[in-house]
Amino acid sequence: MSTPSGSPPQEPAGRVVLDARDIARALTRISHEILERNKGAEGLVLLGIPTRGVGLAERIAARLAETEGVEVPVGSLDITLYRDDLRRQPARGPQPTSLPAGGIDGRTVVLVDDVLYSGRTVRAALDAMNDLGRPDVVRLAVLVDRGHRELPIRADHVGKNLPSARTERVMVRLQETDGQEGVWIS
């Protein structure tokens, strides 16, 4: 688990794909897309997938508040217990799941994550949501879509499409969780 520490963290190796300003612009655009698609902020709930999805969801909510003047509820949805590869690795502790007070029943839920890759995380998130309520609509917003889907899942809002090889690593670092900001590929 990475948390901001005393010394400035070292930059990940590789090429910078998005810097702090690119991320800010992408999130602003995603926020506008969400409003456009939903015709306003009515009934919206943002659910971030821990760890970095939660920070991104909060940033999107801040932008929605700026443009629409509406506080959109934000929650976090952990998928650890719903992973399909639980048995292939040592047991990991779950991260917090917290739903906004109004719940998700009948709402338009926008799932927020940092990277969309195989699609398995999103599948797990849909299963997890199934146990928590029944939204009217579920949409998906991601900062980076790097391709290589293994399931029939696509994102509704994408910060950046990033063609990548399977052997490459995509690293997202956010100020609130990592103490630095950017997306790297190596």
Partner 1 sequence: MERHLLSIDDLSVDDITTLFATAAEMHDVQRREVKKLPALRGRTVINLFFEDSTRTRSSFEIAGKWLSADTINITGKGSSTSKGESLRDTVLTIASMGVDALVMRHHASGAAHQVAQWIDAAVINAGDGTHEHPTQALLDAYTLTRRLGSLEGRHVVIVGDLTHSRVFRSNIGCLTRLGARVTVVAPPTLMPSGVAAWSAADGFATSYDLDEVLPTADAVMMLRVQRERMSGGFFPSPREYAVGYGLTRDRLATLGPDVPICHPGPMNRGLEIAADAADAAQSAILEQVSAGVAIRMSVLYHLLAGEAS
The residues facing 137 across adjacent strands are 108
Please name the helix (run of DSSP H) or strand (run of DSSP E) that holds residue 185, with its range, or none.
Answer: strand 182-185
Report the nearest approach of partner 1 to the CB of residue 106 (Å). 14
Q: Which three-class secondary structure state does DSSP give residue 179?
A: coil
Comparison of 25 and 92: residue with beta carbon closer to partner 1:
92
Comparison of 78 and 114: residue with beta carbon closer to partner 1:
78
Report the nearest approach of partner 1 to the CB of residue 109 (Å). 16
Report the nearest approach of partner 1 to the CB of residue 146 (Å). 26
Comparison of 134 and 148: residue with beta carbon closer to partner 1:
134
Residues 6+ apart with CB under 8 A from 119: 149, 150, 151, 152, 153
Which residues lie near partner 1 (CB under 8 A)? 78, 81-82, 86-97, 127, 131-133
Report the nearest approach of partner 1 to the CB of residue 8 (Å). 27
Comparison of 36 and 131: residue with beta carbon closer to partner 1:
131
Strand order in the sheet with 15-18: 15-18, 182-185, 170-173
Please name the helix (run of DSSP H) or strand (run of DSSP E) that holds residue 143, with its range, or none.
Answer: strand 137-145
| Token pair of 164 as six digits | 């990548």
